[in-house]
Structure 1
Amino acid sequence: MKILFTCGGTAGHINPAVALARLFQQREEGCQVLFVGADGGMETRLVPKEGYEIRTVTITNFQRSLSPAAVGHNVKTVLNMNKSKKQANAILDDFQPDLVVGTGGYASYPVVNAAARRGIPTAVHESNAVPGLTTKTLSKVVDAVMVGFEESRSYYDCPEKVVVTGTPVRGDFFQYTRREARSRLGLSDERPMVLSYWGSLGAQVMNGMMTEFIRMECDAGEPFHHLHGAGRDFSRLTKELGGKGVSLSAHPAVEVREYIYDMPVAMAAADLVICRSGASTISELAAIAKPSILVPSPNVTADHQTKNAKVLAGAGGAVLLPESECTPQRLYGTAADLLGDKARRSAMSRALTEMAVPDAAEKIYETLMRLEKREK
């Protein structure tokens, strides 16, 4: 069996494809896998690290603006579409896949569209709650549309194609109990723990708020444990804390790291997570039933993070706090209230458990194998 995955742009598109590639190779003896991404995309760095070959097409996005720069960019995109169509067909001629799966990103369009025209079984998977332009367009030509949440079904014109499969989450997120994870982090008392981190888009704004958040919790006598991932703002954040008279060495319950490399451990130990609401994040939060305060990034296409956050908040599993309404005081107050209300957090966890699809990878595997066998 030969299966081609095409993905790119964000980890939320790449990680599910990698998880599925591993599952197919475990289940199907001799299964050959090829990835296709966009020239220079994140996928060209991440996929080879996972041990898979990746080929690329020349594709760019459309910008929703009438500025001269945007118009010029869009003209280039139109020209690239013709080039990427030829590249996609050349890749299909060479690899001869039995199944083609797109998990999002601009590179998915030319490859999945070309495969569908040839009659090769095709499917797309959308990790975000609301489909992006690529997935929405491809949904009209593929054999199956796989989505992460039941609420996503209504956004598609062909509901008979839609299968609610959930989104695959790395197995190590399920490896630790709360007690085991807290022990690994060296938490020796029963104070609740909050985990906070931000993505690269708009992280500086939110890390600025976290400086005041941390000052307030230190002034309050460290009522809870706190692990914060500051990313590129680590030096600036710690310097600003010093300017506010906060020495983290005097507050052992508060830890600021540049990067959190053991995220599955940190997530398992946490009683509350404060973060953005990208596709990977909401899938992880739902899968492990972790209550959260979600502050969507306003700097993403079609405001899709707000739409993601609304799914979890609407189910009762998260608090949605728009960045435009967020202040350090409101963020801290909301977190303190939740950390002091175990019953509410338990209710949030139950709500997430009810909406999650814990065996997402298995459901996607079964859906794709039905397509492949139907062709035979």
Structure 2
Amino acid sequence: MKIVITGGGTAGHIFPAISVGKYLQEQHGAELFFIGNKNHIESRLAKENNIPFFGIPSQGLEGNYFTFFTKNAMGVCEALNILRKIKPDYVFSTGGFVSAPTITAANILRIPYGIHEQNSIIGKVNKLFQRNARTFFYSFPAEQRENTCYSGNPVRLKDKLAVNGAKLLFTGGSGGSIKLNQTAVEFAKQHPDIPCILISGQKNYKQLVEQGIPANLEVLPFVSDMKSLYAQAKVMVCRSGSGTLFEMANLSIPSILVPLPTSADDHQKKNALYFAKENAALLVEQKDYFEEKLTGAILELWNNETKRNEIQQALAQLAIPESEKVIAHRILKDIGYSSI
């Protein structure tokens, strides 16, 4: 059984693809291949996971239309040659513009493919190829039809923490957030009795530290072992990308979500609204009186064990720790593989 995975541009697209691919490889002997853009992060991550990587040209809508069409047309041609050589049984895509040439080629060659959407709003590329997908996988609940599957999002951290920590964790993602950094410093100054940790992002770290940090705030530029970090959190303040939300649900961490205002199609707000509606998180938008509202939300969770327990119970209902297994078994069904 040969499986091609594609998708990239951001780690949020890549980790689900690799997670599902590795499950199929380890549990069912699948031979894996990764097609993406050689100049993007998927090239490095595929090699780190010992997956043969094929780099093709691709480009999003940034820049001029001539280079957009030229690069993607070249990408389709190269993907056609690669797929003809590999002869895969299935192509699994996790979106991002880098996946478009490969899915186009799979369509031309009539190779069955599945698409995984991480967010509550379908991305442009995924929407374009949704109709012909053998299965369209949703991270968030959606209308169930013959070719859809509510799968959750395969994330790296799957197991609930045995015990929650005793610190307030601020994180704006791997690159950090200037706004959340500033807010964390001010909150720590005003509440010296609350121990805080801030993941500032590498590029923001030096300037932030030079400004002076209160004694109850530990600032880290970047953390590779996120599980050890999360284990220290009693309450977390974070963005609302799909990967973060499903890790938070799996680990059962009470959180305040601050959606990134500039996320594509405002998808982070839509993600956060769903979790807030299910009573699985608090939501504070980065708007007027943001600092005051965020402080109020933090103190509400920090001082209210009953509220934290309610949120953890709701998170347990949203967590899908075996998401990669759900997706992999549906892929096997799609291609008529009987040994499940």
Range into which the TM-score falls when normalised by the shorter chain: over 0.9
Residue type of the partner of 1:256? V
CA distance in 1, matches of 2:173, 2:167: 20
Return the TM-score normalized by structure 2. Answer: 0.92
1:44–1:329 CA distance, 2 compared to 1 (3 A): same
Closer, same or farther: CA 315–4 of 1 in aligned 2, 3 Å: same
1:19 paired residue number = 19
Q: What amino acid is the match of 2:208? A: L
Q: Are residues 1:287 and 2:258 paired?
A: no
The structural deviation recorded for 1:374 is: 6.6
Gaps of 5+ in 2: none
In structure 2, the residue matched to 1:237 is: 208
What are the residue-to-residue correspondences of 1:200-239 with 2, within 5 Å? 203-218=177-192, 222=193, 224-231=194-201, 232-239=203-210
Counterpart residue identity of residue 36, structure 1: I
Query: What TM-score do you get using the length of structure 1 for normalisation?
Result: 0.84
The aligned counterpart of 1:320 is: 283
* C-alpha contact 2:176 2:200 (8 A) present in aligned 1: no
CA distance in 1, matches of 2:312, 2:160: 18
Return the alpha-carbon distance in structure 2 between the equivalents of residues 257 and 112 of structure 1.
Answer: 39
Q: How many residues align?
A: 338
- In structure 1, the residue corresponding to 2:84 is in which secondary structure? helix
Report the secondary structure of 2:321's partner residue. coil
Are residues 1:161 and 2:147 paired? Answer: yes
> Which digits, 9 at most, give the CA deviation of each residue in 1:9-47, with x for residues without a partner?
111110111111211111123x21111112411212222
The offset of 1:275, in angstroms, is 0.8
Letter in 2 for 1:9: G
CA distance in 2, matches of 1:27, 1:261: 27
For the Cα contact (< 8 Å) 2:161–2:251, is it kept in 1?
no
Q: 2:241 aligns with which of 256, 278, 287?
A: 278
Cα distance 1:282–1:370, how it changes in 2: closer, same or farther (>3 A)? same
The alignment-based identity, stated in percent, is 27
Decide which of 108, 123, 133 is 1:142's aligned counterpart. 133
- Per-residue CA deviations over 1:110-139 (Å, capped at 9, x if unaligned) read 212321332222100111111100111111
Instruction: Report the counterpart of residue 187 of structure 1 in structure 2.
Output: none
Closer, same or farther: CA 169–35 of 1 in aligned 2, 3 Å: same
Gaps of 5+ in 1: 64-69, 183-191
Are 2:102 and 1:111 aligned?
Answer: yes
2:307 partner amino acid: R
Partner of 1:126: 117
Aligned partner letter, 1:213: F
RMSD over aligned Cα atoms = 2.2
Structure showing greater radius of gyration is: 1
CA distance in 2, matches of 1:159, 1:81: 31
Matched-pair contact (CA < 8 Å) for 2:17–2:94: yes
Tell me the distance in 1 between the aligned counterparts of 2:233 and 2:306. Answer: 16
The one-letter amino acid paired with 1:196 is F
